[in-house]
Amino acid sequence: MLQVPSLATLKKDLKFLSESETQDLLIDLIKFSRENKAYLFFKLYEKDNPGMYVEMIEEVLEEEFAKARVTHAYYAKKSLQTIRRKMNKLLKLSKNKADQAEVILFFCEQVKDLGFLKHRNPVINNIYESQKAKIIQLISKLHEDLQFDLTSRLEEL
């Protein structure tokens, strides 16, 4: 079986590479998956435009919500599960708790506004309530000003 070295070992080995070798390695890593490419994109450009990450995720989620079928409880549940899965995948790209809370809050607002909750489906309600619980947990770790802003939006839900 292949033994993968620890992160510390890889860090030490990376220090010995030249700048061009590091760039080549990074480019190969980017080609490996879309998530790696997206992660590098956000890390390179988040300093210039800090709100870009949240805006881009909200655009993706809006497109997904527009495609969602809300007419029947079964389709609404499946659509919501798919959207949540995509949102969670995108949230892994950011370590910023405020951004994560903002995106999850947007998700919950969309669920409420687009009528997903009218079906009274237990799975839909559980998804909605678990996301609200995540928001509360994330808000507790933020600065007081951000806590106030996000808590006021959360209370509207």
Domain ranges, ordered by start, for the chain? 8-45, 49-156
pLDDT tens-digit profile of 47-95?
A: 788 788 889 899 999 999 999 988 899 999 999 999 999 999 988 888 8
**Given the structure tokens 């998530």, which residue do they identify?**
35
Cα–Cα nearest to 104, from 154, 52, 66, 42: 154
With vertex at residue 63, the alpha carbon angle to CA 59 and CA 67, rounded to the nearest 5 degrees, is 165
111 — pLDDT class (breaks 50, 70, 90): very high
From 25-29, 85-89, 125-129, the region with the lowest mean pLDDT: 25-29
Token representation of residue 126? 């559980």
Separation of alpha carbons 9 and 121, rounded Å: 49
Give the CA diameter of the chain: 59
Cα–Cα nearest to 38, from 51, 11, 25, 57: 57
Separation of alpha carbons 38 and 26, rounded Å: 13
User: Is the pLDDT score of 133 beyond 90?
Assistant: yes
**Given the structure tokens 């209370």, which residue do they identify?**
155
